[in-house]
Amino acid sequence: MDKKWLPLAITLGVAGVAVVTASVWPENVEKPRLPQSLCHGALSRETAELIDDGKGGEVSAEEWESKGKTTDYAVFRSCYVLRANSDNDYPRGVYKLLIADTRSAPGRKKDSVPLGPGFAGWALPDEAEVTLPAGCAARMGSTAPYIEVSLDVPSQDEERLARLEEKRPVDADIALRNNVTVMREVATRLAKRYDCAD
């Protein structure tokens, strides 16, 4: 081949590969649908997204369950709610939910606010707790009298923030309101799932 035609041949070859690739490569690849229920069915995706560490990102969850050795401690489920990072493929933990049976009667933490009528629980900006209705423990396979769900939000922990010399990523009043909403939904959904609502 004459050398003067070589650049044209290379250009046409590359263009041909590009056309073949474009015609074979799917244009509208749908991403798999994200699960709409998280944390052992306790949270909708929409409510799970309320609690944020100020950095945004897609929500996902890691769920874990352990069967207890006795029927008094038969329920132990944890859920770590994560958010995607924009600069790497590793999601970061934002908060944790723990669902466990207990013999301890529901209490209330100092300076906390109640969850509202029909809910046995309390909330603070960095943590919250709710006790499910009386019949839930038996329906979930436990002989303990209570099922307690606790929430831990490290990004709102005042001691941690002071130690790291950081400001709250979300205003305390908003964080508190979001925690109340999350715990009310957790209690409602779990009671409905196990058919143990009051």
Taking only the tens of pLDDT, the chain with its 198 residues reads 555 554 444 554 545 544 444 444 455 555 555 668 899 999 999 999 999 888 889 999 999 988 766 666 788 999 999 999 988 889 999 999 999 999 988 889 999 999 999 999 999 999 999 999 989 999 998 889 999 999 999 989 888 888 888 888 889 999 999 999 999 999 999 999 999 987
192: left (phi over 0), alpha (psi -120 to 50) or beta: alpha
Number of domains in the chain: 1
Is 48 within the bounds of a domain? yes
The answer to the question of residue 174 being in a domain is yes
| 36/54 Cα distance (integer angstroms) | 22
In a domain, 13, yes or no: no
**182 within domain boundaries:** yes
* pTM of the model as a whole: 0.79
Instruction: Examine residue 21 and state whether it is found in any structural domain, yes or no.
Output: no
Location of structure tokens 């041949």:
9
Residue 11 domain flag: no
- Establish if 148 belongs to a structural domain: yes
Pairing of strands 113-114, 120-123: antiparallel
Domain membership of residue 189 as a residue range: 37-193
Quick check: is 26 in a domain? no
